[in-house]
Amino acid sequence: MKNKDLSSIRREYKFKDFTEINVDKDPLMQFKLWLDEAIEKKLTDSNSMFLATSTKDGSPSIRTILLKGLEDNGFIFFTNYESRKGIEIDENPNVSLLFFWRELERQVRIDGVAEKISRKDSEDYFHSRPYESQIGAYASAQSKVIANREELENEYEEILKKFEGKEIPLPESWGGYKVIPHKIEFWQGRENRLHDRIQFSKTNGDWKVERLAP
Ligand SMILES: Cc1cc2nc3c(=O)[nH]c(=O)nc-3n(C[C@H](O)[C@H](O)[C@H](O)COP(=O)(O)O)c2cc1C
């Protein structure tokens, strides 16, 4: 199937340059600068990212999630540990994250290893969420096949009744992961497709910086 309209969609990228001189030596600090800029500019879902996982025999899957914490050594998100992504991370903790800030003509690619955060940290975050979201997480066996929407809504109402006026306990199957990166690539769109790509790779505990051809 040929689509004429798609083949002619293209644009020039000229928002900013990004060179070895203005990049922070610590890629997580550099990431924070770009994330802060996306947040300051009030970009929609500025903390959204794609998470790619794969089974142990290499079959991939990808989905959108939200970055909920940034630490000196990693990227934190929350999910259901028994979801498809949770099962795949159990089988193979090697994951990739991808941020795309369209308006800033920027992409960040991260390769790393996912590990569960402590139950206490998951609990603290879980209880900081709106009450209804806590119930929603409790009511949904994420990624399992369900009969219809009614089943989900009935489960929600039941949990709501069960915990009326009480604190919702953190479900066993719910919590956070931290992705500890070993490769981070910053992409800044430039004119004539001569984009800037600066890649950090961790070797023997230190970050090596290289430029990649666009
Ligand atoms: C903007 C956006 C943000 C999302 N954030 C999360 C999130 O933080 N955690 C999560 O488990 N799912 C999130 N989802 C839903 C996931 O994309 C996905 O449907 C769900 O996690 C099940 O994925 P899985 O079956 O691959 O495990 C989000 C979806 C969108 C579109």
Give the predicted TM-score (pTM) of the model: 0.94
* Mutation test residue for ligand 1: of 53, 55, 79, the one with most atoms within 8 Å of CB: 79
**Percentage of the chain exceeding pLDDT 70:** 100
Q: Which residues 6+ apart lie within 8 Å of 139 measured at CB?
A: 152, 155, 156, 158, 159
* Per-residue pLDDT tens digits for 35-68: 999 999 999 999 999 999 999 999 999 999 999 9
* Residue 16 binned pLDDT confidence (cut-offs 50, 70, 90): confident
Dump pLDDT digits (tens) for 151-207: 999 999 999 999 998 999 999 999 999 999 999 999 999 988 899 999 999 999 999
Could you identify the atom of ligand 1 that is nearest to the CA of residue 66? 8
Is residue 3 over pLDDT 80? no
The neighbouring-strand residues paired with 151 are none
Is 119 tagged catalytic? no
Ligand 1, closest atom to CA 86?
A: 27
Could you give the CA distance from residue 81 to residue 86 in angstroms, rounded to a whole number?
4
Confidence band, pLDDT 50/70/90 cuts, at residue 25: very high
Residue 73, Cβ density class (10 Å: 0-12 exposed, 13-18 middle, ≥19 buried): exposed
Between β-strands 196-203 and 48-54, what pairing exists: parallel, antiparallel or unpaired?
unpaired
Q: Examine the pLDDT at 15 and tell me if it is beyond 80.
A: no
Residue 5 pLDDT > 90: no
Q: What residues are in contact with ligand 1 under a 6 Å CB criterion?
A: 45, 48, 61, 63-66, 77-79, 83-85, 142-143
